[in-house]
Structure 1
Amino acid sequence: MVRVIQLLALAALSFAPVNGIELDVNSVDSIKSAASSLASQLVGYYTANSTGRENGTLPSPYSWWEAGALFDTLIQYSHLTGDTQYNSLVSTGLLSQVGKNSDFMPVNQSATEGNDGQATWALAAMSAAEAQFTNGTQWLALADTVFNILVQRWDSATCSGGLRWQIYSFAQGFYYKNSASNGHFFQLASRLARYTGNATYSTWANTAYDWTKSTGFIDSKFNVYDGAPIVSSNCTDVSKVQYSYVAGTYITGVAHMYNITNGNSKWKTELDGLLNQTLSVFFSNKAATEVACEKSDACTVDMMAMKGLLGHWLADAVQMAPYTANTVLPLLTSSAQAAANACDGTGCSLFWDGKHMGIDGNGTGVVGPSIDALSFVQGLLWQEAGLTGLPATVNGTAVAANSTSTASGAVASSTKKSDGVAMRAGMALLVSVLGSMMWFVL
């Protein structure tokens, strides 16, 4: 199929100067080459100084969840580029952290593990199932197990529902409900619903999303906020901090619900609202920015990986709802070019404004910026690979055996659009790209 959307949307950027990793956004080969360089760099960070370190983890100061995000990023890399050289490393790393009950609750993480961290690993397992990674049925079972655990933790006794941030009462986050935990649960449920056709997953996806809206964690303008304390406010005192990946997890979840409901008006309204506001907040300068910390140069190690997850999930959302390409692709493209320019062959800067180059600080945050850059660059290949997350009956795998859900018998259809749809979207982009994106060339 002629990749009209991609070729037209990227045309204006072909003249952008390359100061870092070489990237011609009009060339699939160039995109794959840049992605390969970034993936090699990311894997190098994971494998460096690994003697004595538990498999599947990153060294201090990285959080456990970031290793799960790293593996998820490499699964997407394998799927989008066709480069499978890291698949064994990823599979081994993921399986090393499943824990004795195959629920991504390893003993070494019990003191600090949160629902959002556990769900991050489950989402990586879900990606492996959707991409038909090695041992496909096993990945689905892992994702389903975590889903069922999160259902059991749904706390209707406080705040009328929702998941707490952390799992155990001795952790401070146990007394806080956050959008990351609930958004990841929503995303996991929506993807399981699409993959299996099981209506119970859809029901829980609706429940989680509607609860998030009702608490004001997503407001009427579609800003996505961090969360709220339980004890002092019963979730009414909402923290207005916004993180890119939290918006991203809701966007891709909503896109999956749009997909499996064949464009239901509720989910189209929510998807349009979330996309428009998220792109306005985090792409004000045409390149992805972690607004909570970048402008003040106060990003923690965790924060450095967040916008990469947004990029990952924006690319997934376009696959689930192709009409959004007209909105998403120009910013995905400009961010990919800015990210490539901010990498120098040994590392990447978190900042994509052209003013901060090279590895940030003393190198303690190098993994996050590499996840960010790789996610946006490889995201340009969203039309190259087959659609991920095809229903289980298409993929030839069974629904997880330990699921507590009752299969509906219905299977969601793929939304791989025809050339005609791509042509119409591409023509719409031709005018917008040549006009609005010349800023990047000048």
Structure 2
Amino acid sequence: MAKRTRMRTLLAATSLMLLATALPSPATEQAQPSNARTDGATAMARARVAADVLMNAYDPDKAWFPSSWWNSAVALQTIGDYMQRTGDRRYLAQLDNTFEKDKGTFPAGVLSGDPLLGNFTSRAIDDSEWWGLTWVQAYDLTKNPKYLAMAVTIANYVNGYWDTSTCGGGVWWNAERTYKNAVTNGLWIRLTAELHNRIPGDTQWLARARTGWAWFQGSGMINANNLVNDGLTDACTNNGQNVWTYNQGMAIGAGLELWRATRDPQILASVRRLADAATGPSALVSNDILTESCDAIDQTCDDNGKQFKGIFMRYWTELVDITRDSRYAAFLDLQAESIWADDRDAAGRLGTRWSGATSNDHPNVFDWRTQASALSALIGDVPTPAPPESLAATLSPAQPVVMPSASGNTAITIQLGASATGFIPLQAITSVDTPSGWSITPRATMMRLDPHGNANPASNSMPLTLSVPSLATDGHHFVTANLAAAGLRFSTQADVLIAHTIDFDTGTVDENPWLFDADGSQSNGVQNRFADGNAHFTYRFPFPADTSSAQITLIIDNEFLVQASVDNVHWTTVLQQSQPVTDGSNKAARTIDLTPYLGAAVNGAKPVYMKVSDSFPNDGWGGRVYHVSANIVH
């Protein structure tokens, strides 16, 4: 990348506004062709913003991403991919935290539905392999031999489930030896080839990788169209089950790592056939966007399917790096552009449908699994070597709610954050655009950033005061911040919801602006948010400054504990299920009077916090909320 011309003098205050108004708006960016190549600095900034959003969901106490064991391994490996590609090293401590805290034995239900046998192994052989790949990635980043040793321990465990007595070979999917499938064996080839490529003088792991690849190629799981079906029947024939993107991607990744070990052109040719088939007509794409079968507008992907496409893109990125084929690179770029333009909300969260498609019954889902999946495409869009400098920005809160009073403007504070990598101090020009009739202070200013390489991006922030008129109409309104420095540009938005009423289903995009703290809660779809064990979720209701009384009605069931607070610190129980209920039989609309918690108006609002948790945390059936509505008296 050519070295950019840098701003060497501080711009005079009289020229600041002129420069700020020249910054590009989101509309200008969106007017560019959708297949335009994103410059490397912007691609790296986008990946950094998305990676930070993902790591906000990491639980440092349990050292995982809540409620999903193998998905946590894949998410951590994705963060490893991000660090390796960009040079950012801020999350090495979280990798080690997981390694040290979770390498022991755990009973079923603590970290996995299965008992964990120690060293990240369990009866789920594929789960064990995902962790093996994660620790190889950690070794690549740190060269700490303990991570590679753990990967070897896991691989030795998996090797015990290679069995030539059924179907001539292959690794069993589970300890009960009931199924031989594509993902377990793709993972096996990849893991063994990775070990060979990192252990000097190895012959054992290479032999196992070669044997695994030869068996997989002849197993029948790769159909006549070069697409990988899920597995084999009891008669050792292709079972014709779904072609999931992660099975196809894992086969590509297995072949690429073995090719690195052998430089066998026949292996690379096989990989190309798999790749060409994946993006061919009626394969794994819809309108050129990678699409899982469960991404259909009348379906919802489960927690496993949410993460499949990211695994595909991890290994597709390697394919681009190795082959330098412009067709493969163009496909990768298109996925990243579609995700950023169509599948991203103002909070930087990335959804499951990369086209952005949604419906009322099957909305586009945003959670940490979908974040990790889409992040893989953004990582792949970062060139190698990583650009020497980048500039990113965020607004926080990204989805604030304003409930205007009957008269007078409402003022809220939004924090503008910026981060940068590079080696020379930057003076970032900032310009903020608001809807007509709104105002923000300051509208234009400058922020200084002092980066020292890529390993720890420099950051800075400043408060912005947004004034919303009382006559602002209900709905979503966007505030846009544009930053520019030394030839670098980045735009970010806050999605301000104006609401005179409260009425939303949980598990939908309508819930998001009200959800102050999701903690470890989960949502399995429309009208569903629950908090089991020690998890909780908190809503923030910024009642208008002239509110005299307020009641919230929840449709809720199971073992709920509901608390209210005026400051999100001191809590009072306002609703509690006193007897164990685990079947939803107590589902009902329950009204809570929040009037006692209406404090003095602050920034034009009387905020009340409401937290839902589990009244019997030991049995895993915590409070589940379906709908929230309010009655407000001014």
Deviations 1:24-46 (A, max 9, x none): 85322211211111111111122
Q: Which amino acid aligns with 1:318?
A: V
Match of 2:353 in 1: 351
Deviation (angstroms), 1:270: 0.8
Q: 2:159 aligns with which of 142, 145, 151?
A: 151
Q: 2:88 aligns with which of 83, 87, 90?
A: 83
Q: Which amino acid aligns with 2:90?
A: Q
Match of 1:99 in 2: 104
Summarize the alignment of residues 175-214 of structure 1 with structure 2, pairs less than 5 Å apart.
175-197=178-200, 198-214=202-218
Instruction: Considering Cα pairs closer than 8 Å and 6+ residues apart, tell me whether 1 or 2 has the greater RCO.
Output: 1
- Cα distance in 2 for residues equivalent to 1:164 and 1:368: 26
Match of 1:17 in 2: 30
* Structure 1 unaligned spans of 5+: 4-13, 387-442
Q: 2:79 aligns with which of 70, 74, 92?
A: 74
For residue 345 of structure 1, give the secondary structure of its aligned residue in structure 2. Answer: coil
Match of 1:120 in 2: 130
Summarize the alignment of residues 231-310 of structure 1 with structure 2, pairs less than 5 Å apart.
233-236=234-237, 238-262=239-263, 264-280=264-280, 281-294=283-296, 296-310=298-312
For residue 175 of structure 1, give the secondary structure of its aligned residue in structure 2. Answer: coil
Match of 1:33 in 2: 45
Structure number having the greater helix percentage: 1
Q: 1:218 aligns with which of 216, 222, 233?
A: 222
Match of 1:162 in 2: 170
* Residues 143/375 of structure 1: CA separation in 2 closer, same or farther (3 Å cut): same
Quick check: 215-224 or 267-276, which moved more? 215-224
Percent sequence identity over aligned pairs:
21
Deviation (angstroms), 1:130: 2.2
* Residues 331/237 of structure 1: CA separation in 2 closer, same or farther (3 Å cut): closer
For residue 269 of structure 2, give the secondary structure of its aligned residue in structure 1. Answer: helix
Deviations 1:80-133 (A, max 9, x none): 1111111101221233222369xxx989742774111110011011112223x2
Report if the CA contact (8 A) 1:306-1:368 is conserved. Answer: no
Q: Does 1:314 pair with 2:322?
A: no
- Cα distance in 1 for residues equivalent to 2:31 and 2:205: 45
- Cα distance in 1 for residues equivalent to 2:97 and 2:36: 33
TM-score (ref. length: structure 2): 0.51
TM-score (ref. length: structure 1): 0.71
Deviations 1:344-366 (A, max 9, x none): 133222112243399x8596x61
Report if the CA contact (8 A) 1:179-1:227 is conserved. Answer: yes
- Cα distance in 1 for residues equivalent to 2:115 and 2:291: 32
Deviations 1:386-418 (A, max 9, x none): 9xxxxxxxxxxxxxxxxxxxxxxxxxxxxxxxx
Report if the CA contact (8 A) 1:289-1:351 is conserved. Answer: yes
For residue 180 of structure 2, give the secondary structure of its aligned residue in structure 1. Answer: strand
- Cα distance in 1 for residues equivalent to 2:131 and 2:28: 39
Deviation (angstroms), 1:18: 7.7
- Cα distance in 2 for residues equivalent to 1:23 and 1:287: 12
Deviation (angstroms), 1:15: 8.1
- Cα distance in 1 for residues equivalent to 2:63 and 2:114: 12
Report if the CA contact (8 A) 2:221-2:238 is conserved. Answer: no
* Structure 2 unaligned spans of 5+: 4-26, 117-121, 388-634
Deviations 1:407-438 (A, max 9, x none): xxxxxxxxxxxxxxxxxxxxxxxxxxxxxxxx
- Cα distance in 2 for residues equivalent to 1:2 and 1:253: 35
- Cα distance in 1 for residues equivalent to 2:359 and 2:350: 7
Aligned length: 349
- Cα distance in 2 for residues equivalent to 1:273 and 1:266: 11
Q: 1:56 aligns with which of 58, 63, 78?
A: 63
For residue 232 of structure 2, give the secondary structure of its aligned residue in structure 1. Answer: strand
Deviation (angstroms), 1:327: 3.0
* Residues 140/382 of structure 1: CA separation in 2 closer, same or farther (3 Å cut): farther
Q: Which amino acid aligns with 2:330?
A: P
Match of 1:329 in 2: 329
- Cα distance in 1 for residues equivalent to 2:308 and 2:385: 25
For residue 45 of structure 1, give the secondary structure of its aligned residue in structure 2. Answer: coil
Deviation (angstroms), 1:265: 2.8
- Cα distance in 1 for residues equivalent to 2:181 and 2:2: 43
Deviations 1:192-237 (A, max 9, x none): 22222522222111211222222211124321111124xxx23225
- Cα distance in 1 for residues equivalent to 2:225 and 2:36: 36
* Residues 208/85 of structure 1: CA separation in 2 closer, same or farther (3 Å cut): same
* Residues 94/107 of structure 1: CA separation in 2 closer, same or farther (3 Å cut): same
- Cα distance in 2 for residues equivalent to 1:100 and 1:352: 37
For residue 207 of structure 1, give the secondary structure of its aligned residue in structure 2. Answer: helix
- Cα distance in 2 for residues equivalent to 1:58 and 1:23: 33
Match of 1:372 in 2: 373
Report if the CA contact (8 A) 2:339-2:356 is conserved. Answer: no
Report if the CA contact (8 A) 1:282-1:288 is conserved. Answer: yes
* Residues 250/382 of structure 1: CA separation in 2 closer, same or farther (3 Å cut): farther
- Cα distance in 2 for residues equivalent to 1:109 and 1:96: 17
Structure number having the greater strand percentage: 2
Match of 1:110 in 2: 115
Report if the CA contact (8 A) 2:295-2:301 is conserved. Answer: yes
- Cα distance in 2 for residues equivalent to 1:307 and 1:126: 21
Report if the CA contact (8 A) 2:139-2:147 is conserved. Answer: yes
Report if the CA contact (8 A) 1:23-1:34 is conserved. Answer: no
* Residues 383/159 of structure 1: CA separation in 2 closer, same or farther (3 Å cut): same
- Cα distance in 2 for residues equivalent to 1:18 and 1:58: 37
- Cα distance in 2 for residues equivalent to 1:362 and 1:16: 23
* Residues 32/235 of structure 1: CA separation in 2 closer, same or farther (3 Å cut): same
Report if the CA contact (8 A) 1:309-1:372 is conserved. Answer: yes
- Cα distance in 2 for residues equivalent to 1:238 and 1:107: 28
Report if the CA contact (8 A) 2:297-2:358 is conserved. Answer: no
Deviation (angstroms), 1:300: 0.7
* Residues 137/340 of structure 1: CA separation in 2 closer, same or farther (3 Å cut): same
Q: Does 1:42 pair with 2:50?
A: no
Match of 1:137 in 2: 145
For residue 227 of structure 1, give the secondary structure of its aligned residue in structure 2. Answer: coil
Q: Which amino acid aligns with 1:93?
A: T
For residue 279 of structure 2, give the secondary structure of its aligned residue in structure 1. Answer: helix
Deviations 1:46-93 (A, max 9, x none): 23xx7xxx6233333xx3100000100001111111111111012212
